[in-house]
Structure 1
Amino acid sequence: MEIMTRDFGRLEIAESDIIIFKSGLPGFENLEEFVLLPLGEESPFIVMQSVDNPDIAFVTVEPGNLIQNYEFEISDKTEKELEIKKVSDVLILNIITLKNEIKKSTANLSAPIVINIEDKLGKQVILDDSRYQVRYKIFAPVEEVAE
């Protein structure tokens, strides 16, 4: 099927690549179908594009590209909703908020996107975990090296 996207123009996608968010996303409850589009071959960023609205796309990243030991528990209810059978079927993404000054961009670590990549079901989960920030700076300041 063909979709129009904000960042890539018109694209041909397979219906089998569509991820269903049964409740949409917070603030976008009416949008239930998304597709993951790599930003580039060497880029760690993935665009989560709405199938129904070309203007709605989220830049995301797998948390392992940002921090080590990013762990949280998924509730039994979420596990059932997403039909998760094994951990290897789960993809975790964090939404990036891009700023005009790119080095000020942040990742939302407190509300990850949890996707059952096998069954193409997704949900944004709001964590009750003070270890993870809503605005985690993804570009640490460069420290000057003393010569």
Structure 2
Amino acid sequence: MELMTRDFGKIEIKEDQIIYFKNGLPGFETAKEFILLPFAEDSPFIIMQSVNNPELAFITVEPGNLIEDYEFEISDQREKDLEIKSIEDILVLNIITLKDQLEEITANLSAPIIINLKEKLGGQIILDNHNFSVRFPIFAEQQAENPAQKDEVSE
């Protein structure tokens, strides 16, 4: 089937590449079908492209490319919803937020996307663990000091 994408124009995909998000994503509840496309060869980034909206695409990255020991628990209900039977079937992605300055580009570590690759089911979860940052700088030098710690926000 042909698919129009934001970043690659028209491409050919197979039905079995489509990942179904039963509840959509927070803020995009009606977007339920996505495919994963490599950003470029040898790039750690993956485009999560909506099947039904060519303009809706997220740049994502596997957290292992950003930090070590990124661990969290998935609720029993979420495991059931995503039909997870083995950890080997899971792909975890974090959404990247692009900025004008390279050092301001961030990853959302506190709301990972969980994909059951075997069953082609996905969902985004909001972690109860508040140690992971919503705006983790992926290129900034300060990340080496305290890589996964939550942003200090002064108000």
Fold match (TM-score > 0.5): yes
Q: What do the CA deviations read for 1:64-91 (whole angstroms, capped 9, x no partner)? A: 0000000000000000000000000000
> Which residue pairs with 1:35 in the alignment?
35
Q: What do the CA deviations read for 1:105-126 (whole angstroms, capped 9, x no partner)? A: 0000000000001110000000
Q: State how far apart, in whole Å, the 2-side matches of 1:82 and 1:12 are.
A: 26
Deviation at residue 102 of structure 1 after TM alignment: 2.1
Deviation at residue 131 of structure 1 after TM alignment: 1.3
Moved over 6 A (4+): none
SS in 1 for 2:35: strand
Compute the TM-score of the two structures, normalised by the length of structure 2. Answer: 0.90
> Which residue pairs with 1:10 in the alignment?
10
SS in 2 for 1:64: helix
How do 1:1-147 and structure 2 match up within 5 A? 1-141=1-141
SS in 2 for 1:92: strand
SS in 1 for 2:78: helix
Between the two proteins, what is the percent identity of the paired residues? 64
Q: Give the total of aligned pairs.
A: 142
Q: State how far apart, in whole Å, the 1-side matches of 2:11 and 2:127 are.
A: 34
CA contact (8 A) 2:104 2:140 kept: no
Q: State how far apart, in whole Å, the 2-side matches of 1:141 and 1:7 are.
A: 29
Deviation at residue 39 of structure 1 after TM alignment: 0.4
Q: State how far apart, in whole Å, the 1-side matches of 2:54 and 2:102 are.
A: 23
Q: What do the CA deviations read for 1:45-66 (whole angstroms, capped 9, x no partner)? A: 0000000000000000000000
Say what the alpha-carbon RMSD is for the aligned residues: 0.9
Compute the TM-score of the two structures, normalised by the length of structure 1. Answer: 0.95
For 2:84, the aligned partner's letter is: I
SS in 2 for 1:123: strand
SS in 2 for 1:20: strand
Q: State how far apart, in whole Å, the 1-side matches of 2:140 and 2:70 are.
A: 17
Q: State how far apart, in whole Å, the 2-side matches of 1:97 and 1:43 are.
A: 16
Deviation at residue 130 of structure 1 after TM alignment: 1.6
Q: State how far apart, in whole Å, the 1-side matches of 2:131 and 2:54 are.
A: 34
CA contact (8 A) 2:33 2:51 kept: yes
